[in-house]
Amino acid sequence: MNDSYFERTGERRFKPTVHAGGAWNDDELHFSPVGGLVVHAIERHRAETGAAGGLALSRIGFDILGRLAVDECEITVETIRPGRTVELVEAVLVIGERAVIRARAWYLATSDTSAVAGSPVEPLPGPEEFGPWPMSALWDGGYIASIDVRRRELAQGRAQAWIGSGVELVAGEEIGPLASFVALVDTANGIAVRQDHTEWMFPNVDLTIHLHRQPEGRWTGMDTTVTFGPTGHGLTSTVLHDVHGPVGSAQQSLTVRSLKE
C-alpha cells in the first residue's frame, strides 16, 4: 500500500492514493490532504518565482466549488498581488477539466513583535494527555483510517483533539511544516459532531485559516465548536494549536441537511 496521500504525475499534476479517500463518500477525496497539497503547490510556486523573503502565511481561504472526485488533479498557482510586505497568491485545483477548489493566500512581512506577543487563549494539554480515539469507528474513508487522533469530548458539538499522520503528503517530496499542518485542519468538522452523520449531512463548502504564528511539529491541535442554525446552515469554529500553544483559527461553513427527507 502506498505511504502517501498523493503521487506527482507531472509538473502540476497529482494522483491520489487510497489514503486520500473521503469520509462522506468513498468515490470522493477528503478535503484535508487536498488542502495541504494546495499549500505545498503554493509554497513551491513562491520558491520557484523568487517571491520576497521574510513573508509568512497569514490567511488562506479555500472555496470548494464542486465534487472532489478520486481522480488525477492539476494545480495552477498565480501571484495576484506581488510585494515586499504584502503578497496575495491564488491557486486553482482542477479535476476532470473543472475547477473544484479556488484558494487565495495572503502573505505578510514578518518582524520582531515578541515584546508584545500574547494571547488569552490557553494552550491545549499535550497530545500525550489525550486518549486515543478510533475516529474510523465513526467515519469511513482512507484518510480517516490514516490518521492518529487523540480526543476528548467536552459537550455535544464541542471537542478538543490532536491529530497527526505518518503518511507523506506527496510521495518522495520534502513537505514544509505549514503544508503538513494544513493537511490535517479540515478534520475539525468530524471531531465534534452535533448529530449522527447517518441521519444528517453537514459537509463544509469552504475552509478559512488565519494564523498569528507559523505552526511547528507533527501535531495539529484543535479546540472545536460546531453550531447548527435553524435554517440549514452551520459553522465549525476551531482554535488551532501546535505543541507550543495557539497558532490561529479555522472556520468552516456547513450545509446541514436531513438524510430522512
Grade residue 51 by pLDDT with cuts at 50, 70 and 90: confident
Mean pLDDT, to the nearest integer, of 6-14? 97
Mean pLDDT, to the nearest integer, of 205-220? 97
Q: Answer yes or no: is pLDDT of 1 > 50.
A: no
Calculate what percentage of the chain has a pLDDT beyond 70: 99
- Give 259's contacts (C-beta < 8 A, 6+ positions apart): 198, 199, 200, 201
Rounded CA-CA distance 259/30 in Å is 20
Q: Are strands 4-8 and 168-170 parallel, antiparallel or unpaired?
A: parallel
pLDDT at 56: 97
Mean pLDDT, to the nearest integer, of 197-210? 95
Q: Answer yes or no: is pLDDT of 112 > 60.
A: yes
Mean pLDDT, to the nearest integer, of 121-146? 95
pLDDT at 59: 98
Mean pLDDT, to the nearest integer, of 105-111? 97
Calculate what percentage of the chain has a pLDDT beyond 90: 95
Mean pLDDT, to the nearest integer, of 126-150? 95
Mean pLDDT, to the nearest integer, of 5-30? 96
Q: Answer yes or no: is pLDDT of 53 > 90.
A: no
Q: Answer yes or no: is pLDDT of 36 > 70.
A: yes
Q: How far is CA 225 from CA 48, 116, 200, 215, 237, in A?
A: 38, 28, 17, 21, 5
pLDDT at 93: 98
Mean pLDDT, to the nearest integer, of 35-57? 95
pLDDT at 261: 67
Residue-wise pLDDT for 166-183, tens only, equals 999 999 999 999 999 999
Vertex 108, ends 102 and 109: CA angle to 5°? 155
Strand blocks (E) in the chain = 4-8, 13-16, 55-64, 73-81, 86-95, 98-109, 147-155, 158-165, 168-170, 200-201, 206-211, 220-228, 233-242, 245-255, 257-258
Three-state DSSP class for 27? coil
Q: DSSP secondary structure string, 79-111?
A: EEE--SSEEEEEEEEEETTEEEEEEEEEEEE--
